[in-house]
Amino acid sequence: MSKLQAIRGMNDLLPDQSPVWQYVENTFKRLLSRYGYLEVRAPVLEQTALFRRSIGEATDVVEKEMYTFDDRNGESVTLRPEFTAGIVRAVIEHGLAHNQTQRLWTTGPVFRYERPQKGRYRQFHQLSVEIFNLEGPDIDAELILLSARLLRELGLSDQVTLELNSLGTKEARAAYRATLVEYLNAHREVLDEDSLRRLTTNPLRVLDSKNPEMAAMLAGAPRMLDHLDAESEAHFERLKASLDETGVRYVINPRLVRGLDYYSRTVFEWTTTALGSQGTVCGGGRYDGMVEELGGKPTPAIGFGLGIERLVLLLETLELVPASVHEHLDVYLTALGERAQQRALPLAERLRDALPSLRLQLHCGGGSFKSQIKKADRSGARIALLLGEEECERGTVGIKFLREEREQENIPQAALVERLALELGA
RNA sequence: GUGGAUGUAGCUCAGUGGUAGAGCCCCGGAUUGUGGCUCCGGUGGUCGUGGGUUCGAUCCCCAUCAUCCACCCCA
């Protein structure tokens, strides 16, 4: 009988970590609001067919990484391996993109059955941003600028690089695909097993291979960027110009094809070298064909997914988490003796009524005065309020500054609200 | 799915074929109502799990599970 423990690759978020997550989540929520994006939430579980059709049968995600099982009614369901498909489904189902544009975001857990390692988990969390019914390069630029600002606000600008590519339209890609297959077929003897399989299923992915024995051959392969249709080319040029004008640096990576089949035209990734082999922090692109593919009207769309675990890992590795995120208390109220313990609870409530932003913890469980003050210190609070027999007698309360060289004072309880407001700048 | 490393106290780790130790944390005391530094004491362990070898296994062997890292892939 094995011990009860978390499922492999699925982690608990404990109190020492949650402040960092809140910091990250608050940062991006504030930012998205500033750009006028709205939140949507879709279920964790969807029909399996949704992901098979949108992500693509030949992708790694669909082939071997999905948490798929039969619901009680026999229908095949899948825990979302990414957000886009579910959001698209919701947008179609509720007609959100019917003659209107949408700028949306969502966040939560996603699931992929992979071997866990640093920065890679079976349950992980993403921020996903999705935009519908805007086809021009202006929105591509806005989306990338938004991601750039988010990384900048977290202090990561110097730690990440923006990689950019264009995959052209579906038609241009089909033509290029034929050219590429012809080239790859001519070099069959160099292809490894995986690439041979992809030659028929998804030849563009062959370009992504890191097999050094294929590097020379791939370097000579025809490039998608040289086979773009005129419109995609103009789109890409305009996007690059916008990024240049706004001072966002990028590198063109003609090999960037991304692992999900639905992308067209613009694709991009923010990568880092600080996280070992899991270098992608954020990735996205245009998926103009997906809405139609899933039964909606033709609707241009673009979006990105950002990995929160990797972002947090990066911030911690680089020591970029502001110390203030861990300060969760202003005041620790001690209570020594039976009478003080009885009075402390209503006092704490009165303070919380009067000072809504006050973060106050009441000491519970008794113990010596010494141990209570020790706990006040360990709690991280700036101020300890001391309530004992003497204070109860006189209607006062002791106010002790735990982080500064200041005399301890004893003030009337009636003056406490005003005093705390002053001290804490509330 | 493949390869390598590692599983001993809440945490970080020593250790030995004869049923276990340190530091940190936590609790108490030195200081009958005052934290941080110091000193003293204390709580806490099926030595991942199952099997095998042995008089005897935490140690040796096998299996299994988990964690970490890498391949692969991506967030």
Same domain, A269 and A351: no
* Nucleotide closest to residue A282 (CA–C1'): B75
Report pLDDT for A426. 57
pLDDT of amino acid A1: 38
Shared-domain flag, residues A267 and A394: no
Judgement on whether residues A283 and A161 belong to the same structural domain of the protein: yes
Here the CATH number for the domain that contains residue A273 is 3.30.930.10
CA distance A320 to A315: 5
Domain final position from A295, A317, A339? A317
User: Are residues A104 and A235 part of one domain?
Assistant: yes
Give the pLDDT score at A401.
94
- Straight-line distance from CA A3 to C1' B53, in Å? 27
Tell me, yes or no, whether A217 lies in a domain. no
Q: Are residues A302 and A351 in the same domain?
A: no
Distance CA(A395)–CA(A387), nearest Å, equals 10
Nearest nucleotide to A257 (CA to C1') is B74
Measured CA A376 to C1' B27 distance, in angstroms: 16
Same domain, A264 and A369: no
Closest residue to B36 (CA, C1′) = A377
Q: How far is the CA of A374 from the C1' of B36 (A)?
A: 9
Query: Domain check: are A308 and A364 in the same one?
Result: no
Q: Is A211 a domain residue?
A: no
User: Which domain-ending residue is among A252, A286, A317?
Assistant: A317
Query: What's the number of domains chain A is made of?
Result: 2
CA A395 to C1' B43, in angstroms, rounded, equals: 39
Closest-lying nucleotide for A375 based on CA to C1': B35
Q: What is the CATH classification number for the domain harbouring A370? A: 3.40.50.800
In angstroms, how far is B4 C1' from A318 CA?
Answer: 27
- Classify residue A61: in a domain, yes or no: yes
Q: Is residue A53 part of a domain?
A: yes
**A256 and A354 housed in the same domain:** no
Same structural domain, A58 and A144: yes
In a domain? residue A2: no
In a domain, A7, yes or no: no
Q: What is the DSSP string of A334-391?
A: EE-SHHHHHHHHHHHHHHHHH-TT--EEE--S---HHHHHHHHHHTT-SEEEEE-HHH
Separation of alpha carbons A208 and A194, rounded Å: 11
Q: Is residue A195 part of a domain?
A: no
> What Å value separates CA A161 and C1' B41?
56
A314-A319-A320-A321 Cα dihedral, nearest 10 degrees: 100
> Which nucleotide's C1' is closest to A124 (Cα)?
B75
Q: Which nucleotide is nearest to A121 (CA to C1')?
A: B75
pLDDT of residue A385: 96
Flag whether A91 is in a domain: yes
CA of A94, C1' of B67: distance in angstroms? 44
Are residues A411 and A305 both part of a single domain?
no
Cα torsion A19, A21, A22, A24 to 10°: value is 120
A393 and A280 in a common domain: no
- Nearest alpha-carbon partner for A360 in A350, A370, A348: A348
ipTM computed for the complex: 0.88
Strand B, nucleotides < 7 Å from a protein CB: these are 1-3, 25-29, 31, 33-36, 46, 48-49, 65-75
Full domain range(s) for residue A362: 327-423
Domain boundary among A268, A289, A317: A317
Q: Are residues A341 and A300 in the same domain?
A: no
* Minimum-distance nucleotide, CA of A371 to C1': B35
Q: State the Cα–Cα distance between residues A256 and A207, nearest whole angstrom.
A: 8
Q: Which nt is closest to the CA of A400, judged by C1'?
A: B34
Going from the first residue of chain A to its last (426 residues), give the mean pLDDT of each consecutive group of 10, the final group possibly shorter. Answer: 77 91 97 98 97 89 91 96 97 96 98 93 97 97 98 96 94 89 89 82 82 82 92 97 97 87 92 89 95 96 96 92 91 93 95 96 91 93 94 95 91 96 86
| Å from the A9 CA to the B14 C1' | 30
- For nucleotide B66, the protein residue with its alpha carbon nearest to C1' is A8
Q: How far is the CA of A403 from the C1' of B30 (A)?
A: 25
